[in-house]
Every structure is written in C-alpha cells, then in structure tokens.
Amino acid sequence: SYDFFVSRFSEMCHSSYEDPDVRTKIRMAGIRGLQGVVRKTVRDELQANIWERQHMDKIVPSLLFNLQDPTDRYGSPGCEKESPAELTERCFRELLGRAAYGNIKNAIKPVLMHLDNHSLWEGKSFAVRCFKIIMYSIQSQHSHLVIQQLLGHLDANSKSSATVRAGIVEVLSEAAVIEASGSVGPTVLEVFNTLLKQLRLSVDYELTGSCDPYSNNMTTTDQERQLQEAVIKTIGSFANTLPIYQRAEVMLFIMGKIPVPGIYPALGSPIAGFEGSRMIQVMLLKSLLQVTERYESSNMLAALPSSFLEPLLSFTLMEDPEIRLLVLSILISLIDRHQNTHKFTFLRSVILSDISVLKLKVDKCSRQDNLFMKKHGQRLYRHIFLTCSEENSGRSHYQALYTLLALLSVELANEEVVVDLIRLALALQDLALANDERLSLYNRCAVHALSAAYLSLISQLTTVPAFCQHIQEVIELRQKEVPYLLPEDIFIENPRVPESLERVEGEVLFQQFQIAEVLGGSGYNIDILNTPFTPQITDEDRLSKRKSIGDTISLQMDMDPRYSPEREQVDCVCSLLSVNGEEQEREKRRLVVERFQTAPFEEIAAHCGAKSSLLQSKLDQIFELTIRPPPSPSGSASQGQTPTRSVPVYEMKFPDLCVY
C-alpha cells in the first residue's frame, strides 16, 4: 500500500516553512515524490489503488496548490532551475495522461472541488488554465467525459453567484472547443441544452434579483447580463467548431427552444412572466445569430428548411423591434454565402451610380436555389413588406431590409425572382404613398428611400439600359426637389424629415407601367409585374401579431350547419371574431408528435394495438350489417322462427382439396 507515501508527499507539497528556499525545496521534493508514486503504481499490481478517491483527493489538490502558487523561487529569468509550477504542470500532465476511461471522474472531481473551495472560478484565468492542461493531457477519446463533468457542475451551481456561473461557462467554452476538434461524441446537444437552461435561469434571477428565494444569495442585473453574454459567446464559439451538418442540427435545436407565438402559448417560465419571455426570445435569437454568423451552405433548402424558416419569420411580425432586427440579421447571415454583406454597408446610406466598384461576387443561381425561391420566395416577400409597415421600425431595420433585398438579388435571383423583387419595391412605394395612419412621416420617407436604393441596385444588376436610365432620372430629380425620399437625408443620425409629403407625385415616383414596358422589351415576363402586390396575412401571421392577453384567446365555434338556419350571419360573426380552428388542430398534432418522441415503447405499442383492435371491431360490425340471411324458399321466414344467420365467406371452412 502507498497510502503513507501519498499522505506524506502531499503534506510536503503544502509546506509552509519559514525559509522560502527551504520551503521551495520541500515542496519540490513532495511533487517529485508524488510523481514517483504515480510512475511506480502504473506498473505495480496495486495500480488501481492510486485512482481511488481518497488518493486523488490528496494528490490533485496538492498539485493545483503548487500550480497556482505565485512564489516562483526558481522561475525568475536567467535561472536554469525548474520552478515548482513547471514541475507541477509536468507531473499533472503525466498523471492525466495515464488515466483510463474509468478513472477520469475521480481525477476531475477534486479539481472542481478545489476551484470551488478556493473561489477560483471568479478569477477565470487559473480555472481556464487548469482545464486546458486537462483537455490537452488526457486521451482524446475520453475528452467528452470532462465536458460531462463540467456540465453537471454547472447544473449543480445553478443557484451560485453570477460570477461563479460565468467562470464555469468560460471554462466550458474553452474545454468544449478543444473537445470538438477531437471526438465530439453525443455531448453536442447536451452542451447547448445546459447553456440554454442557464440563460432561462439567468432571466429569472435578473427579474427577481435573487438566485435562491430561500436564501440571501442576491444578484444584480449587471452580473446576470455579463453571464448571459458569456453564455451566448460560448454557444457561438462552440458551434463554430462543429461541421456544417451538426450546426444545422444546433440551429433547429435552438429554434425549438424559443417560445414561438401560437405554438407555445405559455411563453417562458411562470416566474419571469411576459417580460421574461421577451428577454428569453431576444437571448435565444442572439445565440442563434452567433451560430449562423459563420454558417456557409451551398444548398439554401438545407440551410433554411421549412421547420426552421417558418417559426423564424413569425418573429418578423412581433411588436418588439429588437426581435425583428435580430431575425433580419439571422436571415442575412444565412443567405450571404459570398461575404457580400459588408459591401452593402456603404450603400445603406448612399446610392451609387456605378456599383461595379463594389466588386460583388455573383454566381449563377443553382437548381436548389431556384427550388428554394419557388417554395419560400412569396413568404419572404410578404414578411419583408409587413416588416416595412411596422410603426416602430427604425433606421437599422430599413438598412437591414435593404441588405436582405440586395442579398436576395445577388445570391438567389433568376429572371422570375428579379421581377418579383421589382414588384415588391414598387409595392413598398405604394405603401409609403397610402398615407397609412400607423406609419409616421419618418417611416414613410424611409420606405421611399429603401425602395429607391433597392431599385437603383437591381436596375444595375439587370443591366437593362432603359430601366437604369429611368431609375437614375427619378433619383436625380429627387435629389433636386425631394431629397428626403433618398437614403442620404433619411438614413442618418439626424434625418431631415419634411413637414408633409403632399408634393410626392408625378415624376419623382418610379412608374410601374414604364418599368414594365422596358423590362418586357428585354425579354422579361412582366405578367406578374402588372398584378398588384397584396400580401395575405395567414393564420400564423395572426398568431404572431399578438398585442395583448386578450388577443391570445382564440375562439373556436364548433357548429353543425344542419342546425344553423342563419348560416350566413354565423359565418360573418366567425370572420369578425377571427375564429381559428387550426390552432387547436396544430396543438393536437404537436401533442401527438411529443407523445411518440417521449413515451416508452411499451406504451406506444399498447396504444397502437388498442387502435387496431378498435378498427377490427368496427369492421366486424360493418360486415355484420352488410351480410343478410339467405332468402327463404317461400319468400319469407317461417312464423315464430328466428332467421338463420348467413356465414360470411371469410369464416367458411373449406376442405383442403378446394383450397388453391
């Protein structure tokens, strides 16, 4: 047994002798002693003993104590002797490198306890250094065990101070990045699940001001905000190390955690309430933006599947302007596959007469891109139009919308899409002219400026001379007479907004008939351009646009038309009340999917078996009704006798010779 040696050498590692030189020598001797014990036991029949908890609880803290000791007697420049910290690091790496699969937990747990007991998470630097040593020293196939230990420790410290939680999150970030470069294993979604859970808890703590309602463990908004930023940063740094297919899974996973209007009526936690739900939506969208910033996919159908795009677009209709801006940023980062976004930054505030100076990267639209726009194009146009009509949209929203329209033109545009986008830009001009009471004077000017900036860009991309000439003439006339309809006067910090827009008519507007004529002469199909753009608000859009608790109550009237003589009046009432039976149907489908995903196999099998037996009984009843007794020779059954039951064909017993 090496119990005595482990205890004695560990004691020497903690020596507090008065003479610093002697103290350093004693500690160095203790470290070498522990190193010798580890080396000896590896080839000894007692090797299993060294990894037992009582030994690791002595060895690991002794090494960490010397690893963090600021007194480096031999570590000064020009000194050839090895310092205690350097020797400790070598010994620590050697110990971890020898750890087998079953020993990792006993080696890591003392590290976590040491950092807890000495409040070393808050300093961050030492904890990060420790786990970098651990991750680079252990065998790569065991690295996911360290991640699991850290995740469990983060959960265990859910009620600790925000600084402690932030320290653990930062360590987890560094460790997860190292682990992802080796064997990822099954811990990918577990990492994100734990981090998203911490975001939700942080929202509750920020709103209540306490980490634990049963203790005096108070917290502040600043501390929780720092933690939230650390979690979001960790989500992004870890996601960027994953392969493309796993990042797509992570995006869907995060989207599934965001409270979506109409699908999850109870948003957030009961503690947080409505404000907490909004904060959770914002932070999860920020996390999603971190994941998508470096996401590059040649196939837009794979990057933006319906299961991801539909709930994402539903957020463009929410009242919160921050949420809408985050959604636009996510769409921009996913659609931009040739890093063109930064080239449009200058165009957000200025219209260029020659965009060739931007050196835009434009590739021919692929078959998958064409399929994507056929499937989702109209949905995108509708949401862009509806976002422009929001009364609390600001300069950043219109600039983001311009970038999104520009990227659609550069990345995903064929001739059909080009015509659709021009039609959308003209519809935006009509929106600004409609004098909608919801839109302020600034909003109407901004929509005019957005339409002008985009038509200038698309006209130069299509390279139709007459189209470019018309757009340029209108812009030049606006610069002289109505400059407040251009980005230069509107998309600035102090916009120059006029008192009214009464003079906006005639030649300062882009003419739909003239644009259709020149495009038709160049071979474009202009049939759709002559059709007014009227976006239809779908049921999902209505669910997304909720302004009050009263709007969240959907009425469902289940009426039989046979007992409804005044059906026309009922239909009128139903339309006025926005009756939406699909909401309950969608909820039923969600519950069925959730049941088949989470229920035990035996329960699912029993449920399906019960349904099949019910079906069989119904079939038997139907057969019983359809099979009639054989006719009597006299034409009627004998009086007082029960007619005999005819035997169904499927129940008849045939002789073997009759069966083929």
Reduce the secondary structure of 339-399 to three states and give it as a string. Answer: CCHHHHCHHHCCCCCCHHHHCCCCCCCCHHHHHHHHHHHHHHHHHHHHHHCCCCCCHHHHH
Select from 42, 188, 67 the least CA-distant residue to 131: 67
The total of other beta-carbon atoms located within 10 Å of residue 424's CB is 21
Pure H helices in 161-243 = 162-180, 188-208, 221-239
Q: Roughly what angle, to the nearest 10 degrees, separates helices 188-208 and 273-292? A: 140
Q: What's the N-to-C CA distance of the chain in angstroms?
A: 81
What tokens appear for 309 in the block? 């795009």
What tokens appear for 577 in the block? 């009340």
What tokens appear for 311 in the block? 């709930």
What pLDDT, on the 0 to 100 scale, is given for residue 294? 79
Q: Roughly what angle, to the nearest 10 degrees, separates helices 441-462 and 395-411? A: 20
What pLDDT, on the 0 to 100 scale, is given for residue 658? 63
Does some domain include residue 563?
A: no
Hunting for tokens 């929410």 — which residue is that?
318
Contact call for residues 442 and 497 (beta carbons, < 8 A): yes
Select from 265, 264, 282 the least CA-distant residue to 319: 282
Does some domain include residue 6?
A: no
In a 3-state reduction of DSSP, which class is residue 27?
A: helix
Contact call for residues 412 and 365 (beta carbons, < 8 A): yes
Q: Roughly what angle, to the nearest 10 degrees, separates helices 321-335 and 306-314? A: 150
Contacts with 174 (C-beta within 8 Å, 6 or more apart), sequence order: 128, 131, 132, 135
Structural domains counted in the chain: 1
Q: How far apart are CA 412 and CA 429, in angstroms?
A: 23
Q: How far apart are CA 385 and CA 431, in angstroms?
A: 9
Does some domain include residue 460?
A: yes
Contacts with 367 (C-beta within 8 Å, 6 or more apart), sequence order: none
pLDDT below 70 — which residues of the chain? 1, 42-48, 69-81, 124, 179-187, 213-215, 260-273, 436, 536-583, 602-603, 606, 609-612, 624-660
Select from 317, 343, 314, 312 the least CA-distant residue to 329: 312
In a 3-state reduction of DSSP, which class is residue 218?
A: strand
Contacts with 91 (C-beta within 8 Å, 6 or more apart), sequence order: 31, 32, 34, 35, 38, 63
**259 φ/ψ sector (left φ>0, alpha ψ -120 to 50, else beta):** beta
Q: How far apart are CA 274 and CA 291, in angstroms?
A: 26
Question: How much is the pTM?
Answer: 0.75
Identity at 299, one-letter amino acid code: N
Select from 336, 380, 354, 529 the least CA-distant residue to 459: 354
Identity at 330, one-letter amino acid code: I
Q: How far apart are CA 607 and CA 603, in angstroms?
A: 6
In a 3-state reduction of DSSP, which class is residue 210?
A: strand
Select from 514, 512, 447, 518 the least CA-distant residue to 485: 447
Q: Which domain holds residue 416?
A: 304-539
What pLDDT, on the 0 to 100 scale, is given for residue 645? 56
What pLDDT, on the 0 to 100 scale, is given for residue 132? 93
What tokens appear for 594 in the block? 């959730």
What pLDDT, on the 0 to 100 scale, is given for residue 272? 55
Q: How far apart are CA 138 and CA 145, in angstroms?
A: 10
Does some domain include residue 514?
A: yes
What pLDDT, on the 0 to 100 scale, is given for residue 266? 43
Contacts with 162 (C-beta within 8 Å, 6 or more apart), sequence order: 202, 205, 211, 219, 220, 223, 224, 226, 227
Q: How far apart are CA 95 and CA 104, in angstroms?
A: 11
What tokens appear for 564 in the block? 């409804």
Q: How far apart are CA 137 and CA 79, in angstroms?
A: 27
What pLDDT, on the 0 to 100 scale, is given for residue 70? 58
Pure H helices in 293-320 = 300-303, 306-314
